[in-house]
């Protein structure tokens, strides 16, 4: 599944929080957000796609999830934060190459044929959050649990997975069917990862030693050596070159997104435009992690994940023909189901450290709503979603706004920005108010009350925006005609 990931270390953010964020770009998947209580977590998990069965540990924790509303292809929980204030987003589909996949093939379902019994496949994006998030108490522990599952069951796809807690962010990338490597995100950095194998540096000595900031498969050195995978020159170990891809298609679909995000994050410390640019949209060497020129907030991450090359000749919505518009794949696209920012804060009581910013549909036009995660249930406006179009929930209302605003971008974008700003401002005001109330009273049940008010506010602002965008869209219908037009 094509997605875009942004990870922000605690010293790179305005409030010393850690943030992991990802667009979940399926095929117009209908999504909702809900809370999974321990009694609703399965004892034995079975994957719909790969048919693998896995017994799960006892004593799962409460966690949030954003599953598919239609379960025919599995849960696809996508993202969430658990009761231990650990966040997870899974997965960023990444690239590999034939040398890696030949040496450690992906583990795919082999259906029964003749006298041969079915052989289950490995685990993948459908499964990861449910298998891991309810059982981990730190980001580092998330890497270890997922790694053990990958080594035992394998995977049928190449993926990147992020974990965060109050202090650390870890990023794990799969290598073939069973191998993996993981790196702690530098505290002062922001990671940008668009559907490619991302890590461009890795300390094997640390991974096989103290594991301060690097972990990997126990036989990774031998795997590289025995399969002649090392393409690096002059002793510089670049895992992107070894395990990733360098396809022409990457230069249209993937690297331009990294260029747009890097350009936003470091406009002064790097040169991104002009004949002397260090990096251009098709560069293979755009850094995986950058120290931003200024601290970033949740709004900066939402801007990045809403990106469509605004301010560049590649913007598909530009009003004049640059000869380049629409050349590259935008970050904010039409088929996104859900996008989230899992934020773990350090300046509030432990029970409310987790905030999940949720955006349904195309991020270019939809609003981002902050929610407390350590609650027994999400409001109906967010969790009661069906596969039928309806204005009674945040998902479908967002999708309706997206579809109409796209057709009349120039006339509607001002109202879209007002809508997005209103939800962001009012959302932050409510979170500030309830942070204070909960800190003063110690009453955690107020978090559920806050979410109800946040959902009601989102509904009010979304209905106002829907009314306005429908009016604008209606005036642009091709069958418009008035008597005065004669």
Closest alpha carbon to 378 in 100, 2, 35:
35
Instruction: Confirm if 162 and 169 have CB atoms less than 8 A apart.
Output: yes
Per-residue pLDDT 10s for the chain (486 aa) are 679 999 999 999 999 999 999 999 999 999 999 999 999 999 999 999 999 999 999 999 999 999 999 999 999 999 999 999 999 999 999 999 999 999 999 999 999 998 999 999 999 999 999 999 999 999 999 999 999 999 999 999 999 999 999 999 999 999 999 999 999 999 999 999 999 999 999 999 999 999 999 999 999 999 999 999 999 888 889 999 999 998 999 999 999 999 999 999 999 999 999 999 999 999 999 999 999 999 999 999 999 999 999 999 999 999 888 999 999 999 999 999 999 999 999 999 999 999 999 999 999 999 999 999 999 999 999 999 999 999 999 999 999 999 999 999 999 999 999 999 999 999 999 999 999 999 999 999 999 999 999 999 999 999 999 999 999 999 999 898 887 776
Closest alpha carbon to 120 in 136, 131, 111, 109:
109
| 3 part of the active site | yes
What is the structure's pLDDT at 235? 83
Q: Would you kindly state where each structural domain of the chain is located, as residue ranges?
A: 2-364, 388-480
What is the structure's pLDDT at 484? 78
3, 216, 342, 359: the catalytic one is 3
CATH number of 2-364: 3.60.60
């Amino acid at each position: 599944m094509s997605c875009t990931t942004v990870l922000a270390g605690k010293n790179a953010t305005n409030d010393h929080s850690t943030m992991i964020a990802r667009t979940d770009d399926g095929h117009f998947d209908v999504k909702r957000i809900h809370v999974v209580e321990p009694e609703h977590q399965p004892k034995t998990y079975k994957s719909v796609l790969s048919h693998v069965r896995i017994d799960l540990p006892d004593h799962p924790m409460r966690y949030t999830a954003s599953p598919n509303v239609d379960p025919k292809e599995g849960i696809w929980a996508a993202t969430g934060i658990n009761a231990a204030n650990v966040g997870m987003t899974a997965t960023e589909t990444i690239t590999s190459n034939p040398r890696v996949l030949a040496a450690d093939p992906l583990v795919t379902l082999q259906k029964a044929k003749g006298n041969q019994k079915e052989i289950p496949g490995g685990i993948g994006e459908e499964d990861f959050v449910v298998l891991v998030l309810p059982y981990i108490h730190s980001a580092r522990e998330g890497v270890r649990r997922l790694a053990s599952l990958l080594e035992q069951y394998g995977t049928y796809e190449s993926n990147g997975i992020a974990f965060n807690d109050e202090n650390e962010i870890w990023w794990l990338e799969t290598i073939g069917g069973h191998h993996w490597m993981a790196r702690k995100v530098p505290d002062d950095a922001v990671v940008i990862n668009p559907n490619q194998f991302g890590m461009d540096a890795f300390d094997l000595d640390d991974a096989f030693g103290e594991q301060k900031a690097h972990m990997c498969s126990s036989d990774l050195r031998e795997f590289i050596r025995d399969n002649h995978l090392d393409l690096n020159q002059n002793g510089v170990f670049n895992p992107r070159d070894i395990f990733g891809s360098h396809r022409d298609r990457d230069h249209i679909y993937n690297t331009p997104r990294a260029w747009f995000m890097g350009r936003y994050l470091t406009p002064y410390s790097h040169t991104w435009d002009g004949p002397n640019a260090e990096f251009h949209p098709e560069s293979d060497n755009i850094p995986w992690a950058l120290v931003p020129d200024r601290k970033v907030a949740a709004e900066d991450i939402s801007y990045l994940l809403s990106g469509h090359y605004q301010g560049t000749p590649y913007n598909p919505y530009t009003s004049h023909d640059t000869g380049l518009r629409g050349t590259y794949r935008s970050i904010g696209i039409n088929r996104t189901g859900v996008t989230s920012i899992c934020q773990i804060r350090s300046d509030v009581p432990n029970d409310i450290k987790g905030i999940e910013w949720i955006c349904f549909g195309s991020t270019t036009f939809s609003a981002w709503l902050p929610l407390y995660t350590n609650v027994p249930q999400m409001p109906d406006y967010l969790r009661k979603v069906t596969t039928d179009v309806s204005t009674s929930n945040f998902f479908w209302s967002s999708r309706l706004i997206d579809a109409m605003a796209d057709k009349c971008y120039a006339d509607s974008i001002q109202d879209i920005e007002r809508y997005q700003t209103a939800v962001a401002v009012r959302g932050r005001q409510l979170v500030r108010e309830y942070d204070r109330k909960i800190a003063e009273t110690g009453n955690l049940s107020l978090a559920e009350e806050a979410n109800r008010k946040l959902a009601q506010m989102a509904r009010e602002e979304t209905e106002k925006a829907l009314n306005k965008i429908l009016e604008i869209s209606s005036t642009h219908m091709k069958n418009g005609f008035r008597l005065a037009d004669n």
